[in-house]
A and B are shown apart, each in its own frame.
Chain A
Amino acid sequence: MLLSKIKNYKKYFLFFILSIFISSLFIIGIDNREILNVKSDNNPNIIDISGFKKEKNGYLSTNKEAYVVIHNKAKYVKNITFSYKYSKDFTWSLEYKINGNKVICDYKNSYLLNKTVKNINSNVDDIKINIKNKNLYISNISIDNNFYIDYSKIIFIVILLNMIFLILNNKKYFYNNLDKLFLLMSISLCFSFIILLPKNVYLSFDDQIHFKNAINPIRTNGKMKLSYSEQIIINGNIYRDNDMISTKEEKNIFYDYINKVHKKTKNRIVYNSDQTALYNKFIYIPFYVGYRLGSIFNLNFTTCIIFSKFLNSLCYSFLFALAIKLSKKWKKIIFAIGLLPSNLYLASSFSYDPTIIASLTLASVLFFNIIKEDKINWKNLLGYVLLVIWGSLPKAIYCPLLLLLLFVNNNKFNNRKQAIKFKILIVMIVLTLMSTFVLPTISGSLQGDSRGGNTSVNGQIKFILSNPIEFTKIFLSFTYGNICDLFFGQGNIVFFAYILDKAIFDFVYIIYLIFLFYVIFKSEKNDDVKYKILYLVVIACIYCLICAAMYLSFTPVGFNTINGIQSRYFIPLLLLLLVSMVPKNNNKNDSIDNRVLILVPLISMIIVLTIISVKVI
């Protein structure tokens, strides 16, 4: 056990305290370096005002071109802030001069919040606040140069420093226990992601839908419990617009608001018309358990969101660690896939992809063990079946992976009868899983996804049947232009959906891609040509199914390409693909430098998390 190997607990405890002290000083110093000697001004001089009348302690706008000009005594302005009250969302603007150049910033504010904090971060003299709505009440205008302490950044640096310290002091142990090393790195990096990312949705693909399913997996009589805060998070109107909530201080005001409202409205019942099948909801169990635990301990709504994501990321980490532990070969390939920045991001979001990826990767490992054994181990076989079914419940498209079991030599079974009965059952499971989406498609009861535009499943089927050559050309042209990108593109390696432009991470993508190929070509040899071809055939079948599914449901009828295919659909197949690429002439043991194995994912994630901590509000 690791704990018995950590001989000097005092050392780790002291380092932990020191890391909190150092990271606090560092973050407070970095974030507040401009205002170290600058004071706030809670009562700035108003040098000009128009279109307002004095009311109570503030001002009420009397027309749509009201403005107030304040004079800044402190020279430097970090933030300007004021409280407000209005009946709906409104737009307004700030005007000021920096080095003689006029700056105008337009903003939008939600009527639900009652305070705005906007960054200026410059030396300015006078600031003009333009209000474009009548009957808008503003008060408490102030220049805010107070220290801002970003606790999420402090926690991130503390986790990072302690993780690195633990690894450096137990290198030999971790080199021999790659699964424990993976567990430590994955949990630390996922938790850092969760802490640094905003506590809302619309960060990852369809996460608003996953969040809704995660907090209420079971609905009865067309009704469900939904607090107003949960509704606000799912709808996203307030925070998706960057003009509405544009500073971290405003984000904290938003969090305070939704935490307060959630406590008052958490027993609210609403109508719900969702028809998602129950078996598609099982995959949300970790999210639901985390969210419920937070509620039981009466934690804030935003803390419940963190708990919910954290529990799911724990499941991802444990499944991958188990895959590394159980695998007899290619542990380092699994390690590299598990720590892909894209995977860690998905594991830190409301998404069922990480569970699918981890389950199918573990299933692939069990399959590698099955074909290497002389006699079948029933636990490996049943485990493989259950894991593929689990990973296929939300996306039945992966069920052809079960067909790999048909190619297990009958001699490995106790007798031929057992082998045949088992394989017949496997075919029946695959047919049943495929029927869940093929039959509704054929019967015409499946509708197209309106997000893809003018879609129609029936219309598309008619087009394909009446233009088979045209469809084949469309499919081949799409494959030729996209296949490399879908498996080895940035979408699989360093892609964070909606939070930042992926071009920022081009450098990390190139480094990690080279690292992946390094791991493949330095791994233990794979001289089993028959199974290499088999893996590629299964991957090709699943690829065709995904293309067919997206052409039918997400692409306008007769369109000349296939819409909606994302690289993340192929991450569960990555282990099979990379193992097929391992050369047969390699050595029996891998020649991968353990320092490279740890450093590349670690440095990649440090760069990613640092950029996110600075750029994402």
Chain B
Amino acid sequence: MSNKIINIILIILVFLTIFFPLKKDTSTSFESKNVSFIPDLKYGDVLIQEFVATDNFDKFGFEFANFNKIIKKGYLKVEVTSGNKLKKLNVKVDELNDNSFIYFKYKIKKGNKYSIRISNKVKEPITLITTNAVVKNANLSINSEKKNYNLFMSFTNESANYNFTWYLLIVICVFNCYNILRRN
């Protein structure tokens, strides 16, 4: 009897994970070609990356690096402009992992033009990862000087995460294997 109850609970959980799944981020990025670094972005330096969105996204990100320096204070001033709308998305540098992507929650709509303005408000120089791949409608400038490469940007969308569904299905099967082998 208790085995039936456990099975019913597990099946209910499976249905819950199917109809109310957890979320995960699926990402797409600019093509990576001859990935490199921008010259050191010193305090006050400004970088502007423009692009036209190829799809709808929930987050955008770029890859940050700080040469393994221990940075305790300071932030990156990040401003996103689309049309007339401006949004400020600053981030503390001591919470950033070297050679890792930073993602910002910002709804991006397909076909819209965006301009991301990044200003270094950290005493120590930092850098960002770039790609030499040709990205349509994308432009990068550092301190008003145009560059022939772009930031290696990544965009994410929320999608359903069914990992727990698989996990529970396996548990149900193994639990019933045990019951069948022990009982009959």
Among B49-57, B73-81, B140-148, B168-176, the stretch that binds chain A is: B168-176
CA distance A271 to B103 in the complex (A): 9
A376 touches B181 (CB 8 A): yes
CB-based contact A422/B68 at 8 Å: no
A415 interface residue per 8 A CB criterion: yes
Q: Tell me, rounded to whole Å, the shortest Cβ–Cβ distance linking B58 to chain A.
A: 13
- Contact at B97–A425, with CB atoms within 8 Å? no
Q: Which residue of A lies closest to B26 (CB)?
A: A445
Task: Let me know if A265 and B70 touch, CB within 8 A.
Answer: yes
> Contacting chain B: which of A163-171, A229-237, A464-472?
A229-237
Q: Given the known A-B contacts A232-B68, A235-B68, A422-B180, are A279 and B167 also in contact in the complex, defined by CB atoms under 8 Å?
A: yes
Cα distance A238–B68 when bound, in Å? 9
Query: For the complex, what is the distance from the CA of A226 to the CA of B28, rounded to whole Å?
Result: 26
What residue in chain A is nearest B70 (Cβ atoms)? A228
The residue from A228, A275, A385 contacting B174, defined by CB atoms under 8 A apart: A385
Contact of A275 among B24, B99, B180, B182 (CB under 8 A): B24
In the complex, the chain B residue whose C-beta lies closest to that of A279 is: B167
A389 within 8 A of B: yes
Contact of B97 among A226, A386, A418 (CB under 8 A): A226
State whether the Cβ of B45 lies closer than 8 Å to any Cβ in chain A.
no
Instruction: Check A425–B25 contact: CB distance below 8 A.
Output: no
Asked if A418 and B166 make an inter-chain contact with CB atoms under 8 angstroms apart, the answer reads no
One of B24, B96, B163 near A279 (C-beta < 8 A): B163
Known A238-B68, A270-B97; contact A425-B184, beta-carbon cutoff 8 A: no
Given contacts A422-B180, A425-B180, contact A275 B25 (CB under 8 A): yes
Report the minimum CB–CB distance from B36 to chain A (whole Å): 14
Contacting residues, chain B, for A272 (C-beta < 8 A): 97, 100
- The yes or no answer to B90 lying at the interface (CB within 8 A) is no
Q: Is B177 an interface residue (CB 8 A)?
A: yes
Residues 147-171 (chain B) with a chain A CB within 8 angstroms: 159, 163, 166-167, 169-170
Picked from A261, A270, A273, A435, the residue with its CB within 8 Å of the CB of B61 is: A273
| Smallest CB gap from A427: residue in B | B173
Instruction: Chain A residues near B15: list those with CB within 8 A.
Output: none
Dominant secondary structure of chain A at its interface with chain B: helix
Interface set, chain A 119-172, CB cutoff 8 A to B: none
Interface membership of chain A positions 514-543, coded 1 if the CB is closer than 8 angstroms to chain B and 0 otherwise:
000000000000000000000000000000
> Across the interface, which residues of B come within 8 angstroms of A232, CB to CB?
68
Closest to A228 in B: B70
Interface residue A240 (Cβ < 8 Å from any Cβ of B): no
The contact string, 1 if C-beta is below 8 Å from chain B, for chain A 40-51, is 000000000000
Q: In the complex, what distance in Å separates the CA atom of A47 from the CA atom of B159?
A: 69
Q: What's the Cα separation between A278 and B164 when bound, in Å?
A: 9
Look across to chain B and name the residue whose beta carbon is closest to the beta carbon of A443: B159
**Shortest CB distance B72–A (Å):** 9
Q: Which residues of A contact B11 (CB under 8 A)?
A: none
Q: Do B166 and A432 touch (CB < 8 A)?
A: yes
Chain A residue at smallest Cβ distance from B67:
A88
B166: A residues at CB distance < 8 A: 279, 432-433, 435-436
Contact residues in B for A421 (Cβ distance below 8 Å): 176, 180
A53 to B3, CA, bound (A): 83
**Is B114 engaged at the interface, CB distance under 8 Å to the other chain?**
no
Residues B177 and A418 in contact, CB atoms below 8 Å apart? no
Per the 8 Å Cβ criterion, residues 273-298 of A in contact with B are 273, 275, 277-279
Are B32 and A228 within 8 A (Cβ)?
Answer: no
Chain B interface mostly? mixed
Q: Nearest chain B CB to A270's CB is how many angstroms away?
A: 4
A545 CB–B CB distance under 8 Å: no
- Within B13-48, which residues are at the interface with A (CB < 8 Å)? 24-28, 32
Least CB distance, B176 to chain A, in whole angstroms: 6
* Residues A271 and B95 in contact, CB atoms below 8 Å apart: yes
Q: Is B102 a contact partner of A386 (Cβ separation < 8 A)? A: no
Residue of B28, B67, B177 most packed against chain A (CB within 10 A): B177
> Which A residue sits closest to B69, measured CB to CB?
A112
- Please report which residues of chain A, range 209-252, place their CB below 8 angstroms from some CB of chain B when the two chains form the complex: 223, 226, 228, 231-232, 235, 237-238
| Complex CA–CA separation, A604 to B45 (angstroms) | 58
Q: Is the CB of A422 within 8 A of B181?
A: yes
Chain A residues positioned under 8 Å from B167 (CB to CB): 278-279
Q: How far is the CA of A426 from the CA of B176 in the complex (A)?
A: 10
Whole-angstrom distance between the Cβ of A269 and the nearest chain B Cβ: 6
Taken together as a complex, chains A and B put the C-alpha atoms of A273 and B58 apart, in Å, by 14
A416 smallest CB distance to B (angstroms): 10
Residue in chain A with minimal CB distance to B66:
A231
Contacts of A432 in B (CB 8 A): 166, 169-170, 173
B95 touches A381 (CB 8 A): no
Q: Can you list, as one digit per residue, whether each of A371-386 has a CB less than 8 Å from chain B (1) or not (0)?
A: 0000010100110011
Interface residue A74 (Cβ < 8 Å from any Cβ of B) = no
Q: How far is the CA of A170 from the CA of B28 in the complex (A)?
A: 61
Residues on the A chain within 8 Å of B163, using CB: 277-279, 436
* A450 close to chain B: CB less than 8 A: yes
Which of A273, A382, A436, A447 contacts B101 (CB under 8 A)? Answer: A273
Is there a chain B Cβ closer than 8 Å to A429's Cβ? yes
Q: Are A386 and B174 in contact (CB under 8 A)?
A: yes
**A56 interface hit (Cβ, 8 Å):** no
Contacts of B94 in A (CB 8 A): 268
Chain A residue at minimum C-beta to C-beta distance from B59: A273
- In A16-39, which residues have CB < 8 Å from any B CB? none
The answer for the CA separation of A433 and B24 in the assembled complex, in Å, is: 20
Interface presence of A7 (CB below 8 A): no
For residue B75, give the distance in angstroms from its CB to the closest CB of chain A: 13
Chain A residues with a Cβ under 8 A of chain B: 88-89, 110-112, 223, 226, 228, 231-232, 235, 237-238, 261, 265, 268-273, 275, 277-279, 376, 378, 381-382, 385-386, 389, 413-415, 417-418, 421-422, 425-426, 428-429, 432-433, 435-436, 445, 447, 450
List 19 A-B pairs, Cβ < 8 Å. A111-B67, A223-B95, A265-B70, A268-B94, A273-B103, A275-B25, A279-B166, A279-B167, A376-B181, A413-B184, A418-B180, A421-B180, A422-B177, A422-B181, A429-B170, A432-B166, A432-B173, A433-B170, A445-B159
Supplied contacts A110-B68, A238-B68, A275-B25, 16 more A-B pairs, CB within 8 Å: A228-B68, A268-B94, A271-B95, A272-B100, A277-B163, A279-B166, A378-B181, A378-B182, A386-B174, A414-B184, A422-B180, A425-B180, A429-B174, A436-B166, A445-B26, A445-B159
Closest 8 CB pairs of A and B: A378-B181, A418-B184, A277-B163, A270-B97, A429-B173, A432-B169, A425-B173, A414-B184
